[in-house]
Structure 1
């Protein structure tokens, strides 16, 4: 017996607006838009509260203000959106790594094996994903469940926010065929009037065989694909190559701003462990490690360094994060810190060994090298305040790793 595949399309709701709300809960329930404050500005995203006034993306800001005088305007913070987007995909990949990134805020996921393994109903699985995404990132998402990508995409658009919709081979006609043809995924606004001129107003009209020759003049070589999709069929596969993240990172916002260095370093330890675990789970490595320190919404610092070989090792990530932290921290209160592996690649795509450390060195030679390296680093980077590894952390293995990293420390601003 051949079981049908179960595809989820997961879409973050009003992503940019939700991202801002996740960082500033007092914005919850208020009409907000994301765009720069200028009469010529075009709205990027509107919260659902703003949409109730008729405000939508691509609308000029001055028109939105006329519709809603109390509108809250927030400039875009693309670094935040990128960080949350990557974290979102990482959460989803913890359920299934058979994932295709469709855009910054949506993905297709093959959940067949997960559901079969855990003997769960697809709806309950989707509910678990929604709850995990919200608990972890404070972001809402809608999920479409279907036997193929096209139907899953159509389903996720039907209930927002936090909707879950299932479309099956049995009910797709009831779900789709009465919808206007412009609601069909893949049909552009300019195509709709052309179809209407041919007497095709609904997806059901598009699915009729007698209309096949009519639509050929519009869709040409894509006619069969469009016709098949209107009839609930889509043979496109999940493109796993599109699920790769350019970076694997993690960050956390403190409950209260802090300048306690021991506390901050303990947070870096936890973040580094999480980044390492995520990278290992997906067989991703990098030779570029960065940290982020955020002081206020407007003020933050990011520092990156290149090490001599690729890694996803916790000790290396943590040790490097501490060195970078020492190099840029100035004692001010922090509200957020983050760690990231940048420009990650698959293990199978590189022909080098992961081990960064030469075990043939004697302790005596290492100690001599350490003293010399610390001297050189303090000479070259006077603001770093470099000290012996033993004064940074107590774990002997991490100390060894720090020595090697220091030997290859090349700062990249």
Structure 2
């Protein structure tokens, strides 16, 4: 599979860059797309704001403390969707094998490409230039022989980066990677990795598959393969929808059981409506809770019957909620999703916000 040519394109500070492009008075200033109110969250920060430590998903109040001159700009999702469509038109000049991850990033398989360009790095360079000249926006690109390395490469020299990881260089490159850069390694997993003496790719590669499976479950196999530069997943232009979900950011943190049950009910009602509109059938229900301190947990349950009606979903959601200690940890956000779908359910699964907060997830 090392003869594949995969490109990962990632728009730099996408929402914020669109706002600075369309509003010249914002150029060069630290801006955040989102809402400045007490319950607001930063969706995207410009690079001027990031120099102060402002990041996506950060509470607006904290962002303003870090950068008092921060300018908040309301999001314009329809505009971002249209710009994303224009970016994809550029992609299609080179290939139709495009796997979008979000509005602002995608994988492209250019092993066989429309212009017949031999080097994938030349295609990536052309795409970056067209995005700059036609849309007045900046993208970073990573090029390699699989999705894992292409994604790593696109992050390596941000912003406006272009990085290629050749098969001959892959193992050496991976050896130097901090463990936090590996797919699926968040703060909790990274902490566990560190406790095991694993801080980089070289130390990860030294562990056996059995050890990683024992410590991390099925995802341990992914860590084992990625440490060796192995990722056989194809770039998929069509997805099976894996989940339908929704979440609600609350107006204030809550810990009273009656209040939590009421909010859970509202989310469950919205979820049932989304399942019906998308004709989605699944057997696993997942509860997502974000606490007042932004720590987050999920709890899941799988049933033999399909989860499609409120009288099935709500009791299961309440059952999952019993596993959550929220009396001493007030809740900021509640989410529910249904997954484990029928095979014929098509398209891309996403979490959808019910509040005015929206995220540029990475």
Whether contact under 8 Å (1:101, 1:242) holds in the other structure is no
Q: Distance in 1 between matches of 2:115 and 2:72?
A: 46
Give the deviation of 1:14 after TM superposition.
0.8
Where does structure 1 differ by over 6 angstroms across 4 or more consecutive aligned residues? none
- Aligned mates of 1:204, 1:27 — CA distance in 2: 43
Q: Give me the whole-angstrom Cα distance separating, in 2, the residues matched to 1:91 and 1:17.
A: 21
Q: CA deviation at 1:82?
A: 1.2
Which of 146, 158, 174 is matched with 2:172 structurally?
174
After superposition, what is the alpha-carbon deviation per residue over 1:228-273, rounded to whole angstroms, capped at 9, x for unaligned? 1111011001112149xxxxxxxxxxxxxxxxxxxxxxxxxxxxxx
Indicate the SS of the match to 2:218: helix
Whose relative contact order is higher, 1 or 2, with alpha carbons under 8 Å and at least 6 apart? 2
Deviation, 1:105, is 1.0
What residue ranges of structure 1 are gaps of 5+ in the alignment? 244-413
- Aligned with 1:219 (options 216, 219, 234): 216
- Any idea what SS the aligned residue of 1:117 has? coil
Which has a greater percent of helix? 1
1:279-290 equivalence runs, <5 A: none
| Coordinate RMSD, CA, aligned | 2.3
SS in 2 for 1:113: coil
The 2-side partners of 1:3 and 1:147 are apart by: 5
Secondary structure of the structure 1 residue equivalent to 2:113: helix
2:324 equivalent in structure 1: none
* Contact 1:41–1:61, Cα closer than 8 Å, also in 2: yes
CA distance in 2, matches of 1:204, 1:85: 37
**Change over 3 Å in CA distance of 1:118–1:198 after alignment to 2:** closer
- 1:115/1:122 contact within 8 Å kept: no
Match of 1:144 in 2: 142
**C-alpha distance 234-115 of structure 1, shift in aligned 2 (>3 A):** farther
Aligned to 1:186: 184
Distance in 1 of aligned mates of 2:27 and 2:173:
32
Distance 2:171 2:128 in 1: 27
Question: C-alpha deviations, 1:20-41, integer Å up to 9, x for none?
Answer: 1221233222110011131221
Q: Could you state the TM-score of these two structures normalised by the residue count of structure 2?
A: 0.63
Residues 319-367 of structure 1: per-residue CA shift (max 9 Å, x gap): xxxxxxxxxxxxxxxxxxxxxxxxxxxxxxxxxxxxxxxxxxxxxxxxx
Whether 1:235 and 2:237 are equivalent positions in the alignment is no
Partner Cα distance (2:210, 2:99) in 1: 33
| Superposed counterparts of 1:377-388, under 5 Å | none
Which residue in 2 is equivalent to 1:300? none
Residues 101 and 107, structure 1, Cα contact 8 Å, conserved in 2: yes
Partner of 2:202: 204
Does structure 1 residue 27 correspond to structure 2 residue 58?
no
Q: Kindly indicate whether the alpha-carbon contact (under 8 Å) linking 2:94 and 2:115 is maintained by their aligned counterparts in 1.
A: no
Counterparts of 1:212 and 1:113, CA distance in 2? 34
Q: Distance in 2 between matches of 1:115 and 1:5?
A: 15
Distance 2:69 2:129 in 1: 31
Runs (5+) with no aligned partner, structure 2: 241-362
Superposition deviation, residue 223 in structure 1: 2.4
Q: Partner of 1:95: helix, strand, or coil?
A: coil
**Contact 1:205 1:211 (C-alpha < 8 Å) held by counterparts:** no
Q: State the shift of 1:3 in Å.
A: 7.7
Q: How does 1:112-131 map to 2 (within 5 A)?
A: 112-114=111-113, 117-119=116-118, 121-131=119-129
Per the alignment, residue 270 of structure 2 pairs with none
Cα pair 2:208 2:224 within 8 Å, conserved: no
1:106 counterpart residue number: 105
SS of alignment partner, residue 118 of structure 1 = coil
User: 2: distance between equivalents of 1:227 and 1:3?
Assistant: 18
Whether the 8 Å CA contact 1:35–1:44 is kept in 2: the answer is: yes
